[in-house]
Homo-oligomer: A and B are copies of this chain.
């Protein structure tokens, strides 16, 4: 099995359907083969890495398939990265060629590395026959900052990504439709969907970069039926002043994931879009990415705080520090096994072995299962705070702080404390024209929550550092604000 199964299926079953960019799936199929031929003629060999620095586009989707056909390992560049981060990735992956679109062409000069630049990716008429990829060949290196060992390339194979497509189709029940690539395509959050959309013969549209009104307009204009976005995008979209002006009646499913969705936000979304099925997907780059899905049906009556149940094909357990199962209901580390689990981290054998010990991916997330097999993700293991002998899961504290009317965004981190070992510090961004005092926010929490869970210090910031999908980067927060609380 390999990701070309999906592409060939699109051609065989849905050849005359509109794939994307005005092309049918038959035309798309031919175009990606010509792009693959162009890459090979450009002297790029099987197994070589090629970086891609692009916004969401039809060209990007073609490039993903073209590299897969040619056996080239794609290295998608996070569009939020600084030139330094891009340089690191080019060096680490040894990508000697980079495909860039118009948007990033002007930024190439800022790099210290000087890869060969291909502007988008041309096509060739040469009739090259490519070897069928082995299922364990790499499709791409997907760089994540992660929490240990700094940035590293997650090696995902044909089997990984194709298995995820099958698992996720099965768990979500998505059928042929019109998909909007609104989350960044360099990131697994949306990238996985290209294989599913090929297998289903769906039509694809693209937002080069997310903005709420652009999203609403694109959904209306293109009669979009399905998409995956992240909670911050849902928040922006629902609260946009023009929300009511757009016809979203064709929209039938919104998948969401990449970070936890606050309860009030998903409830608001379900109220404002009553005909849309909401489906939560939980996972990470290392798992290609989906581990659990909270189906639409589960949203109606079941626990919204859950991340869902393991998708068929993936086994998920919650274990203690010896990798032994904890009893149902108790918290431990989430580990997972299945054909979707990464091959490892690029050229980091020790970290890979540690993460994959015993044949299970150790996610670094803390969670618990209930009796019905619903997984609740409590926190990142590294983000949990331990004041004294207690365990405090940061999302719980953050939800309480976010409920304060003056607070727009919030994150809590642990800081060294001579008495308790660790103390809780909140970093908050205020809403426009609002302000808040440290003592007031601490009091707000202490009135509503067990005292040991409440922050003992508060920092008001202008902005919180965020990753490619809008997730707050706690490692950056700890660097900036993590000095002793005394």
Residues of A within 8 A of B (CB): 1, 5-6, 8-9, 12-16, 132, 162, 166-167, 169-170, 173, 199, 309-310, 312-313, 315, 338-339, 359, 369, 371-373
Contacts and interface: CB of A to CB of B under 8 A. Distances in A.
Given A1-B338, A373-B13, A169 B310 contact: no
Contact of A310 (B9, B166, B173, B338): B9
B166 A5 contact: no
Contacts of A315: 5, 8-9
| 8 shortest interchain CB distances as A-B pairs | A13-B373, A12-B373, A170-B170, A199-B312, A1-B339, A166-B313, A13-B309, A166-B166
A1 B310 contact: no
9 contacts: A9-B310, A13-B309, A13-B373, A15-B371, A16-B371, A166-B166, A166-B170, A169-B170, A170-B170
A173 to B, nearest CB: 8
A338 B135 CA distance: 11
B313 A1 contact: yes
A9 B14 CA distance: 34
Contacts of A372: 13
A312 B373 contact: no
B312 A169 contact: yes
Contacts of A309: 13
A259 to B, nearest CB: 25
Contact of A5 (B313, B359, B373): B313
Nearest to A14: B373
Contacts of A167: 166
A312 B166 contact: yes
A271 to B, nearest CB: 27
Contacts of A14: 373
A359 B369 CA distance: 42
A372 B173 CA distance: 22
A269 B372 CA distance: 38
A5 B340 CA distance: 14
A14 B12 CA distance: 38
A12 B373 CA distance: 5
A312 B312 CA distance: 15
Nearest to A358: B132
Contacts of A5: 312-313, 315, 338
Nearest to A173: B173
A369 B12 contact: yes
A313 B369 CA distance: 30
A315 to B, nearest CB: 6
A8 B315 CA distance: 8
B12 A312 contact: no
Nearest to A200: B312
A359 B134 CA distance: 12
A309 B8 CA distance: 13
A181 to B, nearest CB: 21
Contacts of A339: 1
A322 B342 CA distance: 38
A105 to B, nearest CB: 38
> Which of A14, A170, A312, A373 gathers most chain B CB within 10 Å?
A312
Contacts of A199: 312
A372 B338 CA distance: 33
Contacts of A1: 313, 338-339
Nearest to A6: B312
A360 to B, nearest CB: 11
Contacts of A313: 1, 5, 162, 166
B169 A9 contact: no
Contacts of A371: 15-16
